[in-house]
Amino acid sequence: MSLSAPVPPQPQPPALPPLPDAAALALRAVHRAASELRRGTPVLLRSQDHFLVIAAAETVGARGLAELAAAAEAAPCLLLAPVRAAALGVPRPAGEEAVALRLPPALLDPTALRGLADPTAEALLPPEGMRAERQAPPPLAGAALALAKLGRLLPAVIAAPATGLPPPGRLDLLAVEAPAVLGYPTTAALSLRRVAEAAVPLEDAPDARIVAFRAGDGGIEHLAILVGRPEASARPPLARVHSECFTGDLLGSLRCDCGPQLRGAIRRMAEDGAGVLLYLAQEGRGIGLVNKLRAYTLQDSGLDTLDANRALGWGADERNFLVAAAMLDQLGIARVRLLTNNPDKLAALAACGIEVAGREALAFAPNGVNDRYLETKAQRFGHLLA
């Protein structure tokens, strides 16, 4: 009688990590959809009762238009922010969050669409000009423009109703829920987590640390610059909510006062013994660097900061200050003295649960280039510069 050799124990597959929760999955879907629009690829926007296939007018090419047409159940329209439509001579309807235009074939062209979307590229429009007719905006039009904005694209979208089913012979389009798009700013802010920290001695603040925060979709990081130990301060520490400004902070642009405010805030915190500067990835009041450069072009043509942003289809200020409140909460800082000239920041932080114990001014004299910019801040944004 022969005995068989014992069977060695078989390795067990590693345990699967827990599935992401619904909020994380929604963030991921919105981030992917915004990236698709940036690439010129259509996506499917859906709600419980409606499907809308959309593509960004700024980036869509011939292939993207063909894919959109294959998924569409009806002729596409162009969705524009009301302020951009008004600049094209289309009357602004009361109460509508998007203007829908039925375009003739000559304007259903990638080059012409860029001209319709971008006031700095209107020379790309055909010589015969604008001959579009208004139509009722489709359901989900507001979410379509919101998704383009999340991708830092101009809020101008080609859209058509769809069934939600893929056309024969091609892959599904990426689908995203409209409520997830509209709720993204809040969900992303509440999902922020600390991911890295290091001591970074600064010229004006040798005892400084930088803490990086990342949202649940893995997108752009926001930073906190801690001077001293503000989280352990016996009194409310100095705090500044500073939106990144590549041109001013890094290059020393004279068009704004961002660079002096950044460095001045850090110096003030070092002199005070402690402070926190929240460096938010919200360039150009939330419109992104590319759109800020477009706004600069419009300003050189005579518009001020506020009107230039609106001419691009954006609001005057698109920033989300819940991001700052979430960062302060994780840093253990519930009370601050805010370094700002902007009353809206005081109200926004207070509305998000941060106690603002006082305001400290942070104003700098005009430099001969940014005079009108500072005047606009005071007169149209209500900044306290006097």
Domain extents in the chain:
22-184, 192-282+319-380
22-184, what's its fold?
Answer: DHBP synthase (3.90.870)
CATH class of residue range 192-282+319-380: alpha beta
The average pLDDT across 162-170 equals 63
The average pLDDT across 155-168 equals 81
Give dist(CA 349, CA 179) in Å, integer: 25
For residue 133, which phi and psi values (nearest 5 degrees)? -110, 140
The average pLDDT across 130-156 equals 92
pLDDT the model gives residue 87: 84
Give dist(CA 123, CA 346) in Å, integer: 42
Nearest to 150 by CA among 121, 173, 183: 183
pLDDT the model gives residue 10: 58
Catalytic annotation, residues = 317, 319
pLDDT the model gives residue 96: 83
Nearest to 291 by CA among 179, 153, 198: 153
Give me the residues paired with residue 79 across strands: 100, 157
* Confidence label for 368 from pLDDT (cuts 50, 70 and 90): very high
The average pLDDT across 236-254 equals 96
Q: Where are the beta strands (DSSP E) in the chain?
A: 43-46, 51-56, 77-80, 99-102, 133-135, 156-161, 175-177, 193-199, 208-214, 222-227, 238-243, 275-280, 335-339, 355-360
More confident residue, 6 or 91: 91
DSSP for 307-349? HHHHHTT--S----THHHHHHHHHHT--EEEEE-S-HHHHHHH
For residue 103, which phi and psi values (nearest 5 degrees)? -100, 140
pLDDT the model gives residue 218: 83
